[in-house]
Structure 1
């Protein structure tokens, strides 16, 4: 399975760390977030090719990938103008082909079994077209909280609301069928966002895989400090 690692963000909430370091290369215990993802996906053998988009401080990302043992399995694509998460998928349809693929926000620190994630998607309930990884968050007001039916299919989505109904959150790690890409194409927009413009269309058709091991969005200095202590 191929994967896209979304790594183009500015990381403004992580300043001053990101003044000189792209968000995807922010280190946890001395190892960049991108390194954790490449090891997790490519070491397992479940992913054979990874595409990484760049925008902010792209030379640092290029240098890191070039020195990585996974360099041969990685394709870098630069975005002069940010396309949004959906726009990146749209612009790289040629890389993806007509197969299911994994889409990952590379500013997360996580630990899970990629083979189990793929199996959950392969054996997903009938009528579902994507699988979303979930986790239980300690800050539900900062996340997209999901409501599930008995099958684990998403029925409602509450994006960063002050009093969401629960702690089960979208981990921003997905497996998409080609039909999801077809929907992004149908929006007829070069720039679009997965969480706000694509996921709502698939309510009732989103399977979930729960990560009960470890997951944290490294979105600010507080979460970075927590990850250093927890991981």
Structure 2
């Protein structure tokens, strides 16, 4: 069974980090999320992938290639115009089999897909939607589901207390190709507001299956940070780079830790990282490859992508800095969220 990964989103709520990159390429634990997704699906038996791209597609194609490096095969389809979730699936129709998986590739999840596929086959469904339960469903599309598992309707972002359930669309589907006949070609189509209601009205079998495991939409700054804290706490059990040399501290290759430097777990340090004397790193800090952290610095609850340079005496709290950012000497920053900052530039918080 092929897996279609929808990776064309703009990631507007994660700007400026995603200004010039697709959101699924955002690092999670120093590895692009979309690579994590391909690896975990491969480990569950998926060997053929189709990736639907739009925003800076070459960044994903150059990283994943034809998939041989990962032990899979990958094909690509490009959106020339914004097509929405259903439109992107329709655009990939020629590359899909009679039954296929669909994933929103910017949602971080770690779930077992085999029960979902089995449920779809047992119900002889046209579409089976993976569901996840959330405490507050008011920001999501909530399902009204029967005892038999059929979905009766979707309620988009219901007001508090008005949701028919706490089950939301997890962005994971098993679909039969016949469902694509309900999607018009060449225009933007919403799968929840247009396609699924059409299928339900036509009496097609649209079922929901509650999945277990980790799930979080990383589409906001707060959730992007939370994904990393969950990763460090091992609530999200993706592989971490490097070796856990002491409890809660993972360190990559060819790193230098200066005299008197203190690492407070949990901390992830990438490859070829230099940490200066008397620096204090952690807790809840992720440092990418080739970063340089100068003497007497303080980093806490902070994520640095590859190639960052933190100059002497700087203090970062709850910050996220993109590739190649430079933070000037003695800057004290709270909740800064920036990409490619240079020392002479003004840093906005």
Cα distance in 2 for residues equivalent to 1:154 and 1:221: 32
Measure how far apart 1:188 and its partner are.
5.5
Cα distance in 2 for residues equivalent to 1:138 and 1:25: 28
Cα distance in 1 for residues equivalent to 2:177 and 2:50: 17
**What's 2:206 paired with?**
206
Helix, strand or coil: the match of 1:19?
coil
Q: Which runs of 5+ in 2 are unaligned?
A: 231-235, 237-349
**What's 1:170 paired with?**
169
Helix, strand or coil: the match of 1:20?
coil
> How large is the Cα RMSD of the aligned pairs?
1.9
Higher mean alpha-carbon deviation, 82-91 vs 68-77, is at 68-77
Contact 1:90 1:190 in 2 (8 A): no
Measure how far apart 1:130 and its partner are.
0.8
Deviations along 1:75-126, one digit per CA (max 9) or x if unpaired, are 12222222222222222221114x11111100111111122221111112x6
Describe how 1:151-162 pairs up with structure 2 within 5 A.
151-162=148-159
Say how many residue pairs are matched: 225
**What's 2:109 paired with?**
110
Contact 2:11 2:23 in 1 (8 A): yes
Describe how 1:18-167 pairs up with structure 2 within 5 A.
18-45=18-45, 47-66=46-65, 69-70=69-70, 73-97=73-97, 99-124=98-123, 128-163=125-160, 164-167=163-166
Once superposed, which parts of structure 1, at least 4 consecutive aligned residues long, lie more than 6 Å away? none
Helix, strand or coil: the match of 2:169?
strand
Helix, strand or coil: the match of 2:189?
coil
Structure with the higher helix share, 1 or 2: 1
Deviations along 1:26-56, one digit per CA (max 9) or x if unpaired, are 12212222112201222221x2311112111
Measure how far apart 1:23 and its partner are.
0.2
Higher mean alpha-carbon deviation, 203-212 vs 35-44, is at 203-212
Higher mean alpha-carbon deviation, 147-156 vs 169-178, is at 147-156
Higher gyration radius (CA): 2
Over 3 Å counting, the alpha-carbon distance change for 1:60 and 1:37 in structure 2 is same
Helix, strand or coil: the match of 1:31?
coil
Q: What is the TM-score of this pair, normalised by structure 1?
A: 0.89
Measure how far apart 1:156 and its partner are.
2.5
Cα distance in 2 for residues equivalent to 1:178 and 1:20: 33
Q: What is the TM-score of this pair, normalised by structure 2?
A: 0.60
Cα distance in 2 for residues equivalent to 1:156 and 1:91: 25
Question: Which structure has more RCO (C-alpha within 8 Å, separation ≥ 6)?
Answer: 1
Helix, strand or coil: the match of 1:191?
coil
Measure how far apart 1:173 and its partner are.
0.7
Q: Which runs of 5+ in 1 are unaligned?
A: none
Contact 2:65 2:74 in 1 (8 A): no
